[in-house]
A and B are shown apart, each in its own frame.
Chain A
Amino acid sequence: MAYKSVIEILTAIKNKDVSASELTSDYLNRIKDNDDDLNCFITVTEESAMRKAKEIDDEISKGIFKPLSGLPIAQKDIFCTKGVKTSCGSKMLDNFISPYDATVIEKLNNAGTIMLGKTNMDEFAMGSSNETSFYGPVKNPWNKDYVPGGSSGGSASAVAARISPCSTGTDTGGSIRQPASLCGICGLKPTYGRVSRFGMIAFASSLDQAGLFTTDALDAAVLLKEISGHDPKDSTSSDVDVPDYYDYCINNNKSTYTIGIPDEFTKDLNDEVKKSFFDSIKVLEKIGCKIKNIKLEHTGLGVSAYQVVAPAECSSNLSRFDGVRFGHRSKKASSLEELYRESRSEGFGKEVKRRILVGTYALSAGYYDAYYLKAQKVRNLIAQDFKNAFSEVDLILGPTTPDKAFKIGEKMNDPIAMYLSDVYTVSTNLAGLPAMSIPMGFKDKLPLGLQIIGNHFDEKNILKLCHLYQRETDWHVQEPND
């Protein structure tokens, strides 16, 4: 079956050109054929997927169509799924079966999607290469010696390899956009609060946001509508109206934008990435966009501030993993204190432990003001930079990552080099802004990503600009095996 996009699949289902069962079976076979090599999935839910597909086919035979009826999807293993293992890529949760669904899962299930399985990820979403997973590294389908990015590496690699038409991810500092860039697909991180975090295992609660991977911007527009909106179970989810993003992309007449290019995002680029980026700008100029140079002068401090705020919140969030109620429990402990310490020491990997220690340090007596409080003030400074920029421009553009994917193992012993691969993505999380990465070219046969950042809750214009760009280019339709 040669369906190229979510929209093509939904159309084929609606026209009864293919049944949900045939389609699901086809994708499960693709997973069987490819995933031993790629390692995208931690759990493949073949039985429940085929059962759900049959239910959808029965509904369709009675004329019942839901917005996403019959669409196969891969879910990042950070989302709680009732009755299915939810490991978050960690030994700590290797035995965890969630008693409830995350709101994102519930919404997608209710919209008619069929879950193919749970995707591999960096442990507790802490990583930029998918190498910190307890279940082993994920491979980049463009070159299997290279990382797919992270933390949502399994979700990105699965869509790039066309073994799932779409997938969910989460983005705390770039964990959707960076792997989307390195795998040559679209990755959308919505505004903080646009999508409920209920049932999404927390890493850094003031930064985490659920989002999507697709091959086409219009596909992301269709899916975003279904997962967005206020959730009474998450008081940080916003009650801002959810527009029909797809309709806006197709039918709204807006076709010109004032686009800001921050000097801070382009000055240190290598020649190939710089060329791809400015070639993309030329495409946008051709369709009528106005380009304006802008300053985001404090975003250079983004990684430093992020590496205080995120570990501080993670050290607090991960204190719930104590071996008592759920998750890994050490068999060595003979006292309660030992039970906590041994369960956590056996259950967490090196990177997670390192971040807990950094967070504990930043929050400890004598260091709180110098690190945590100061980082929160820098966060305000960065947010002000964006606020000022959006008074002059509609959208901000830059490369998603400083370079193409790196080799598996290349940065594992150098945490700073790993953290810096998120240098262009973390600032938007600190400011809570929406952003998307779409393919913009290749370097050494590996994909490069273009990042489009919008103002709060302006996903519709990000998606529209991406759609306009993709009408003029074909980077997003290229596949690893072409």
Chain B
Amino acid sequence: MVSITHNPIDTAAVLASVKDADCGANVLFVGTTRRMTGKRETTRLEYECYEEMARAKMMSLVDAARDRWPIVKTSIVHRVGVVEIGEASIAVAVSAAHRSASFDAASWLLERLKQEVPVWKREVWADGQEEWIHPQGEAAPVTKDDSDRDSTKATP
């Protein structure tokens, strides 16, 4: 299950969605809006996405994770719009027979999502400043053939 929602994420439902009788290892990651970044205070985050592409990218990441690990069920839910302090912006759940696959796959999915799924956050700081976050650093993998397993680097 992959979805993008404007509503609060029901994290228990995300975890329940990967439950499977053949799985003994269920991992749920929940990313929430953090108040402090160093000494700077955040008031809230606002997310926006390129919805069709974001959904397609998340689905292709799930497919790629399935090729890498013997995972059984996977759910990714990303919230967009305003996400207040302590509220969840992302939930990733993975089930597998054993814990190494579910831990590793969940971690990998989240890292890849943060690099290549077209979702952006706007940080609203307590000091009154607001800014879109566009990280410097390594470029997302770009593929001509839509295979996320290829890691040909495109030039920004």
Indicate whether A and B interact.
no
